[in-house]
Structure 1
Amino acid sequence: MQKIIIAEKIMKSFSVGNERHPVLKDVSVDINEGEFVSIMGPSGSGKSTLLYALSGMDHIDSGKVTFNGSDLSVFNDKELADIRRTKMGFIFQQPTLLKNLNILDNIILPAMRDNRKNNENIIKQAKAIMTRVGIAELEKRDITQVSGGQLQRAGICRALMSHPTIIFGDEPTGALNSKSAQEIMNIISEINAEGTAVMLVTHDPKVAARTERILFMRDGMIVSEMHLEKFTNTNMDDRTNKVTAKMREIGI
């Protein structure tokens, strides 16, 4: 299976006053084409920092991250932004949608930037994706007129507009109730089943249990890894119990 992301001995620290505090310590990890990966660990363990480093959203101090065979360090900020916009998708805990645009316009905005002459096709594509995730009737709504789960679906639509190689999610269900969280995970799982790689940061064992591989972090390092079989709705409790047992075993 082809590796789409290769991280080698990456280090990242942040300044607090006059001191540097390490957040990632010599982390190496590969992400395969079409893989479904989650990252778990206590607050401050480096989960989100690792996701931002692998996606080129944050610069690393040392080490190397390659995406589709290209070293991300050779690109400037504009080039990295172009890669993220055209090759990657992002889903955050709080969708970053613009208040002055309706749902449809928020979804198509990044794609319009790259294809100004294909407005009709972009809108058609967006509406098809909205239908798929169950928000077709919300296209003219303002973002203040829909629920958190519906906003997250809109964020997924926007992430899918560029047909990304990988989707990164930072606690994508963290602000949702259990029913909405399950619905969002169903959509993400379907996207992954169609061949798009997914990497999620989560604190929720039920979310991690839906993935194929779990990276457990503590103190800026990957301290353990867990591999699961392909998810089916019938083995949710068993998978969740295995994840929570592993968390207890390694003390996170």
Structure 2
Amino acid sequence: MTTTVGIFGAGKLGTVVARLAVAAGHRVLVAGSGEPESIRLVVDVLAPGAVAVTGEEAARTSDVVVLALPLGRLDTLPGAALAGQTVVDATNYWWEVDGPRPDLTDDLRSTSEVVQEHLGGAVVVKALNHMGYHDLDEGPRPAGAPGRRAIAVAGDDRAAVTRVATLVDSLGFDTVDAGSLHDSISLQPHAEAFGANVEAAVLAELVATFPGSPRGREVARARALEVR
């Protein structure tokens, strides 16, 4: 089924996701931080078939919106227009890009919980963040194909998680349920699933064993202290 996919960000990840979505037969709208003209050439060259639009248009007319911009630029998003929208949080915190942000390195909550809090009325689902853009670009395979790679999906709204999983499947990847937004810390940098370009069974194991991993134990200690 054709879906209108809105993508915020015309960088490497954004244009890869746009190409995959166009190849899957979706209508694709790409928004940057400025006017559409500022990214039109990039979109035309790197994601032919996608259309450069304003952020407001991408937010209001898409069935699903993908955040493929630096996490530190949340303030540039049209929050009101995204109310009620299913938003795929494909962002990661990078000190070099986002600067020192203690709120994004706090083990008490995942960065997707920060995104959800910031966007308020939107329904946030974590996905498309743990696989490198080059692997995403090279990895799509038809459903059931041997060696098909998997993308983890996490969220609090089950209907939204299903919607995003359906989109991911259409892009050429299996999906693995990674739990709630709180649990999605298992997909962030320094967790073993981060960077994973593997099949579903292997990714599911990485997600399931996160609590016993060095990073998982570190997160558990921090959260246990907060409860006390």
Normalising by structure 1, what TM-score?
0.31
Q: Which has the higher contact order (CA 8 A, sep 6+)?
A: 1
Greater Rg over alpha carbons, structure: 1
More strand by percentage: 1
